């Protein structure tokens, strides 16, 4: 179902079915992109929802996806050590990266060891700009989640980061634990070829309704502001979310 503004909604019975379908779709995207341009850039989401998807990609598709051509990035990171249980890198490493044959140089974690998070954000932005050079496009696929109040990555409601028009990565303090984060911004997210939101849990229903409500604004529901100018947005939603 397409909701204008190139937003598509795909509904599934539960998170298991959603994750299995998303894994197959991502497999197809990667195989096609690697055949055409020999590489695929994927920005991973944190949180808990994508964990099962990552596990399926790392097991069912371990020997099907050309992992040596896939480059992993993150949409945001908590400013904690990479071996911390709250680290998005740690979650992806455990559920996917350590079970697939991906070259270490293809994994681009957001640094979290600098005294100043702003320095880490600047360095990550430099890495992103170098990887994507000047083509204008960025990620082949960005995976995102959404909090119950409408945040995505670490872009939270009313955050000054929502008004950023140049920087691709910023250090932010958010109303969640841990509070110090590095987040990608709309300028880089909205140059992606595709963005997949993975949404499960009835606590997200109100925020989803606001995303698709034409009378609301992205500053109060940041997930609404992710609309790549030359890309597509697909909302992968399970049946715990009532119709909107």
DSSP-derived secondary structure letter, 152: B
Taking CB under 6 A as the rule, does residue 45 contact ligand 6PG?
Answer: yes
Tokens at residue 233, please?
Answer: 């947005």
> Cα dist. 126→168, 170, 178, 192 in Å?
9, 12, 25, 17
Min dist CB 38 to ligand 6PG, Å, is 29
Spell out the residues 6+ positions from residue 52 whose beta carbon is closer than 8 angstroms to its own.
15, 16, 19
The strands making up 40-44's β-sheet, listed across from edge to edge, are: 7-12, 232-238, 194-199, 141-144, 40-44, 70-74
Stretch that binds ligand 6PG, among 95-103, 130-138, 142-150, 214-222 (CB under 6 A): 142-150
Residue 144: beta bridge partners?
Answer: 197
Min dist CB 225 to ligand 6PG, Å, is 13
Of 7, 19, 41, 49, the residue at the interface with ligand 6PG (CB under 6 A) is: 49
Taking CB under 6 A as the rule, does residue 150 contact ligand 6PG?
Answer: no
Residue 43: beta bridge partners?
Answer: 73, 142
User: Binding residues for ligand 6PG, how many (CB under 6 A)?
Assistant: 15
Of 26, 46, 58, 188, the residue at the interface with ligand 6PG (CB under 6 A) is: 46
DSSP-derived secondary structure letter, 65: S
Taking CB under 6 A as the rule, does residue 138 contact ligand 6PG?
Answer: no
Min dist CB 134 to ligand 6PG, Å, is 28
User: For residues 31 and 107, which CB has a smaller minimum distance to ligand 6PG in the complex?
Assistant: 107
User: For residues 34 and 147, which CB has a smaller minimum distance to ligand 6PG in the complex?
Assistant: 147
Min dist CB 103 to ligand 6PG, Å, is 25
Taking CB under 6 A as the rule, does residue 147 contact ligand 6PG?
Answer: yes
Stretch that binds ligand 6PG, among 28-36, 151-159, 161-169, 187-195 (CB under 6 A): 151-159
* Interface with ligand 6PG in residues 153-172 (CB under 6 A): 153-154
Helix pair 51-59, 88-95: axis angle to 10 deg: 30
How far apart are alpha carbons 47 and 198 in whole angstroms?
11
User: For residues 54 and 67, which CB has a smaller minimum distance to ligand 6PG in the complex?
Assistant: 54
Taking CB under 6 A as the rule, does residue 66 contact ligand 6PG?
Answer: no
User: For residues 38 and 202, which CB has a smaller minimum distance to ligand 6PG in the complex?
Assistant: 202
Q: Where in 112-178 does DSSP place strands (E)?
A: 141-144, 169-173
Burial of 51 (0-12, 13-18, 19+ CB in 10 A): middle
| Binding positions for ligand 6PG, rule: CB under 6 A | 45-49, 75-76, 88, 145-147, 151-154
């Amino acid at each position: 179902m397409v909701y204008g503004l190139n937003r598509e909604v795909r509904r599934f019975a539960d998170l298991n079915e959603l994750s299995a379908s998303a894994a197959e779709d991502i497999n197809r995207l990667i195989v096609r992109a690697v055949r055409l341009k020999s590489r695929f850039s994927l920005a991973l989401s944190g949180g808990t929802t994508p964990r099962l998807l990552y596990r399926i990609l790392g097991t069912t598709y371990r020997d099907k996806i050309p992992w040596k051509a896939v480059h992993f990035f993150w949409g945001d990171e908590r400013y904690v050590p990479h071996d911390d249980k709250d680290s998005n890198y740690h979650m992806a490493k455990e559920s996917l990266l350590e079970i697939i044959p991906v070259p270490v140089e293809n994994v681009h974690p957001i640094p979290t060891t600098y005294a100043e998070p702003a320095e880490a954000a600047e360095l990550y932005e430099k890495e992103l700009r170098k990887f994507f050079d000047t083509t204008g496009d960025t990620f082949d696929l960005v995976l995102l989640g959404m909090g119950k109040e409408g945040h995505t990555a670490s872009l939270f409601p009313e955050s000054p980061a929502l008004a950023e028009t140049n920087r691709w990565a910023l250090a932010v303090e958010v109303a969640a634990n841990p509070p110090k984060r590095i987040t990608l911004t709309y300028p880089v997210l909205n140059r992606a070829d595709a963005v997949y939101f993975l949404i499960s849990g009835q606590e997200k229903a109100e925020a989803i309704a606001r995303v698709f409500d034409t009378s609301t604004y992205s500053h109060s529901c940041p997930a609404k502001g992710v609309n790549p100018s030359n890309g597509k947005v697909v909302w992968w939603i399970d049946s715990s979310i009532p119709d909107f």
